[in-house]
Amino acid sequence: MDIPRIPLGNWIEGGLNWLTSEYSLVTRGISRFTQTGINSLNDSLMWLPEWALLAIIALLCWKIASIRLAIGAAAGLALIWNLGLWNPMIETLTLVVIATFVAVVIALPVGIAAALSERLYRLIMPALDFMQTMPAFVYLIPAIPFFGIGSVSAIFATVIFSMPPAIRFTTLGIRQVPVELIEAADAYGATRGQKLVKVQLPLSLPTIMAGINQTIMLALSMVVIAAMIGADGLGSEVWRAIQRLRPGDGFEAGIAVVILAMLLDRLTQSLRKSRQ
Amino acid sequence: MDETRSVKIQVRGLSKVFGKQPKKALELRDQGLKRPEILEKTGQTLGLSNISFDVYEGELLVIMGLSGSGKSTLIRCLNRLIDTTEGDIIIDGENIPTLGEKALLECRRRHFSMVFQNFALFPHRTVQQNAEFGLEIRGIDKVERRDIAHTALKQVGLEGWEDAYPNQLSGGMQQRVGLARALANDASVLLMDEAFSALDPLIRKDMQQELLQLQSKMQKTTVFITHDLDEALNIGDRIVLLKDGEIVQIGTPEEILTQPADDYVRRFIEGVDRSRVLTAESAMRPVRTTARSSDGPRTALHRMRDHSIDSIYVTDRDRHLLGLLEAETASRAIEAKAETITDYLTQDFRKVPPEEPLQNLFAMFSEKSFPIAVVDKQQRLLGVVVKGAVLDELARAGEQ
């Protein structure tokens, strides 16, 4: 007996098509808005001369973290500049910053809500598992009909891919606040809002920062992959090197990604430590 | 205890069942079943069963019981950190179990401050900010709450530590912060949940003394939870004894010790039974200072001041007890320019032989606050017994 194949793919496509046509106004609006954001951040970062931005970043590293990180950052950025990868690096940084910003803005309230409501928690956690384990490339496909080829689609896919840790860590952080402290807040007649602002959020801040750090790292890895749907930046340098079979160019761009990743990671980690 | 004192909190028929079918458990309870059978039949835990007692205005009520007796549940029912299953808790005319969410918050803010076993200080706030917490929640403005919190910290001896963080303090100091947070809040009832149990014994004793001193100054209605008999006897005006979620006995420390309601209480204060063999001699302390019959009133008064006491026993040269001189009388003698104090002595005190059973001494203390004099057959003063010493002695016997 032949069991008919379940047309799961067709259903999903149908749903996506319907979404695309019904909400084209919305997606186009988002697209234009995001593109403007990307362009203006890009332009302002590129408007600064390379040495000035390099100095600013090094100074920031020195203030927030250590002189060692500042020296490392300056050396790494100087290498990228020297390799002629400065502009792609800025484009990648812009995508990471915007994607992370959007992801965190969505993740914080969702994470808080999941921490406070058991039902929501049970609803959201499997969704996060889905978002994280689905191969990242798959998000790129529906992004194109929604937002067209280019950076906005890259951001869309990146936000979905990188958001889960921020939600998870926020939820975890709030749930980890010791019961006694919640009890103490209750005993003195704190409202839910007061409890959240005065006790739960400040105490879970280090954990939330760890989540944001993870989100930044995932976002960076995704914006590189997003070069496949036409996102600018270091990823497209790698992509071009693959197509032309030039391992040297590929590694150069790859090293630039590594430098950027380490810089962002150390910077956010020390931000977290200084808060503790 | 003065029966006419006004009642601050009335607890009537309070029960608490942990589980999803509380009604079933209560039905079985009404059929006379006890906690273990109810748990077996319904899977519900009967945490508290039909608890009724009063908390008087200004008293320090100790709720004592072993772990599992329901004492923590009971104190949390009072401010409804735990919802009750049945019964009333009435404070100033409000029935706490029936309050809506908003009224409950208001009630907690106005009526309850709480001190916790493991301090429950906020690690991200300074000592000062911790002490301000209750006031901040109530929306008191910055300047005012800083002053109030500062006063409270001063009261518990933490002046100068305002900017420290809790993890920089020792356990005893942390609990002082916990106490300051409660005092600053100035709610009408202070709830103390095993507040001193996490402290080491020496510090615990100190904290008990300090609490008693604060209490004598402020007369704050306090409900204090403990599993420690010594502590209960030491600080309680009255004690509520809990076992398996039920009240076994309510009474003053003396009543509990001398008239245990049943075998459980008797076993609980086991060794305290030995009060029958414990005598005045065992609780007796040497007299720190006495006056001689030949002394003038100024000398006698001076000695009292030196030892911060209000009265002094007067003996002749061979330590025969002649009488007691009160500070007030001594002052009068000075005004009257009396040469000696012999005319100003009172006999209005208790004296007992060293072999007097300790339990008989309780009743004597309720009459007058003078130390009881212990004299031998020749009426020579051997020593004195103060109230705390009797309880200490009994409690120590209980531990052995």
Residue in chain A closest to B109 (alpha carbons) equals: A189
Question: Could you state, in order of their start, the residue ranges of all structural domains in chain A?
Answer: 31-275
Quick: pLDDT tens for B180-224: 999 998 889 999 999 898 888 788 888 888 888 888 888 899 999
Q: Which residues of A touch B114 (CB under 8 A)?
A: 184, 187-188
Residue in chain A closest to B115 (alpha carbons) equals: A184
User: Is residue B316 packed enough to be buried (19+ CB in 10 Å), middle (13-18) or exposed (0-12)?
Assistant: middle
Q: Which residues of A100-125 are buried (b: 16+ CB within 10 A; e: fewer)?
A: bebbbeebbebbbebbbeeeeeeebe
User: Which candidate in B137, B179, B188 is best for mutational testing of the A interface (most A CBs within 10 A)?
Assistant: B137
Q: Are strands B246-251 and B291-292 parallel, antiparallel or unpaired?
A: unpaired
- CATH, domain range B56-276: 3.40.50.300
Mean pLDDT, residues B308-324: 85
CA distances from B187 to B181, B222, B300 (A): 11, 11, 44
Residue A231: Cβ within 10 Å count: 29
Q: Band of the pLDDT at B366, cuts 50, 70, 90?
A: low
Q: Which residues of B touch A189 (CB under 8 A)?
A: 105-109, 112, 134, 137-138
Select, from the ranges A42-51, A144-153, B24-33, B105-114, the one with the highest average predicted confidence (pLDDT): B105-114
Residue in chain B closest to A204 (alpha carbons) equals: B124
Does position A274 have pLDDT exceeding 70, yes or no? no
Residue in chain B closest to A178 (alpha carbons) equals: B120
Whether B102 and chain A come into contact, CB under 8 Å, resolves to no
User: What is residue B5's DSSP assignment?
Assistant: S
Question: Could you state, in order of their start, the residue ranges of all structural domains in chain B?
Answer: 56-276, 280-399
Q: Which residues of A touch B124 (CB under 8 A)?
A: 202-203
Task: Tell which CATH architecture fits domain A31-275.
Answer: Orthogonal Bundle (1.10)
A123-132, A180-189, B207-216: least confidently modelled range = B207-216
Residue A221: both structure tokens together: 């890895």
Residue A69: both structure tokens together: 């990180």
Q: Which long-range contacts (CB under 8 A, 24 or more apart) does A66-72 make?
A: A66/A270, A69/A266, A69/A267, A69/A270, A72/A262, A72/A263, A72/A266
Nearest-angstrom CA–CA distance, B314 and A221:
92
Residue A142: Cβ within 10 Å count: 20
Mean pLDDT, residues B292-314: 83
Tell me if B56-276 shares its fold with B280-399: no
Quick: pLDDT tens for B243-274: 889 999 999 887 887 788 888 787 776 655 44
Nearest-angstrom CA–CA distance, B160 and B127:
10
Pairs across A and B, CB distance < 8 A: 55
CA distance A198 to chain B (A): 9
Of B106, B108, B124, the CB nearest to A187: B108
The full DSSP string for A22-84 is HTHHHHHHHHHHHHHHHHHHHHHHHHS-HHHHHHHHHHHHHHHS-HHHHHHHHHHHHHHHHTT
Residue B394 pLDDT = 67
Residue A205 pLDDT = 92
Contact B257/B238 with Cβ under 8 angstroms? no
Nearest-angstrom CA–CA distance, A234 and A11:
35
Q: Which residues of B touch A184 (CB under 8 A)?
A: 114, 116, 120, 122, 133
Query: Which among B76, B177, B195, B196 has a CA at the least distance from the CA of B132?
Result: B177
Quick: pLDDT tens for B152-187: 999 888 888 999 999 999 888 999 999 999 999 888
CA distances from A154 to A106, A157, A224, A225, A226 (A): 17, 5, 9, 9, 5
Residue B212: both structure tokens together: 């008693």
Cα torsion B292, B293, B294, B299: sign: positive
Portion of chain A with pLDDT greater than 90, in percent: 59
Residue A25 pLDDT = 82
Rounded to a whole number of angstroms, the distance between the first and last alpha carbons of chain A is 65
Quick: pLDDT tens for B94-124: 999 999 999 999 999 999 999 999 999 999 9
Does position A1 have pLDDT exceeding 70, yes or no? no
Residue in chain B closest to A183 (alpha carbons) equals: B81
Residue B263 pLDDT = 82
φ/ψ bin of B56: left (φ > 0), alpha (ψ from -120 to 50), beta (otherwise): beta
Q: Which residues of A touch B109 (CB under 8 A)?
A: 188-189
Interhelix angle A67-82/A86-116, rounded to 10 degrees, is 130
Tell me the residues of chain A between 154 and 213 that have a Cβ less than 8 Å away from chain B.
178, 180-181, 183-191, 194, 198-199, 202-203
Looking at the DSSP assignment, which residues form a beta bridge with residue B279?
A: B357
Mean pLDDT, residues A150-158: 89
Does position A104 have pLDDT exceeding 90, yes or no? yes
Q: Say which CATH superfamily domain B280-399 falls into.
A: CBS-domain (3.10.580.10)
Residue A229 pLDDT = 86
Does position B5 have pLDDT exceeding 80, yes or no? no
Residue B387: both structure tokens together: 């109230």
Residue B398: both structure tokens together: 């209980």
Q: Which long-range contacts (CB under 8 A, 24 or more apart) does B296-305 make?
A: B296/B338, B296/B339, B296/B340, B296/B341, B297/B330, B297/B331, B297/B333, B297/B334, B297/B338, B297/B340, B297/B341, B297/B344, B298/B334, B300/B325, B300/B330, B300/B341, B301/B327, B301/B330, B301/B331, B301/B334, B304/B330
Mean pLDDT, residues B281-302: 82
Q: Maximum distance among all alpha carbons in chain B?
A: 81
Contact B118/B100 with Cβ under 8 angstroms? no
CB contact under 8 A, B124 and A203: yes
Nearest-angstrom CA–CA distance, A91 and A93:
5
Q: Which residues of B touch A198 (CB under 8 A)?
A: 122, 133, 136-137
Query: Which among A204, A203, A223, A205 has a CA at the least distance from the CA of A264?
Result: A223
In the block, residue with structure tokens 């704190």: A190
Of residues A104 and B391, more confidence is placed in A104
User: Is residue B88 packed enough to be buried (19+ CB in 10 Å), middle (13-18) or exposed (0-12)?
Assistant: middle
Quick: pLDDT tens for A72-95: 999 999 999 999 999 999 999 999
ipTM for the predicted complex: 0.77
- Reduced to 3 states (helix: H, G, I; strand: E, B; else coil), residue A7 is coil
Residue B278 pLDDT = 66
Counts of helices then strands in chain A (DSSP H, E): 13, 0
| Residue A162, phi then psi, degrees to nearest 5 | -100, -10
CB contact under 8 A, A188 and B120: no
In the block, residue with structure tokens 């009537």: B12
B28-37, B83-92, B335-344: least confidently modelled range = B335-344
Residue in chain A closest to B191 (alpha carbons) equals: A187
Mean pLDDT, residues A108-137: 91
Q: What is the pTM for the complete model shown? A: 0.74
Q: Band of the pLDDT at A140, cuts 50, 70, 90?
A: confident
